[in-house]
Amino acid sequence: MAHKAELDPVLLNREMPRIDFIPFESENRYMASLHIASLHLDPSGHAFVFVKGASERVLSMCSLQRDNGEDIPIQTCALATDYG
């Protein structure tokens, strides 16, 4: 995927190394990876979880969405209209 987006996977692995993951399994219908950003990307040292999978499964794990830099309660009806 990184190559398709013209990103350097070696640099990505150095800047945000993966420290754990949940592999894809058909019964879960998603996979996830846990990364820690390098200090120059995020001086506070936050961890990031990246999830991909079936949209209904991923959305069922969410309670908030980001809107203009603010976290608000997720609006699944708006998502269905925007992307359905």
Beta partners for 64? Answer: 73
Model pLDDT, residue 6: 83
Instruction: Give the mean pLDDT of 70-74.
Output: 92
- Nearest-5° Cα angle at 16, 61 to 83: 40
Residue 82 — pLDDT band, cuts 50, 70, 90? low
What whole-number percentage of the chain has pLDDT above 70? 86
Per the prediction, the chain carries an average pLDDT of 86
CB of 58 within 8 A of CB of 51?
yes
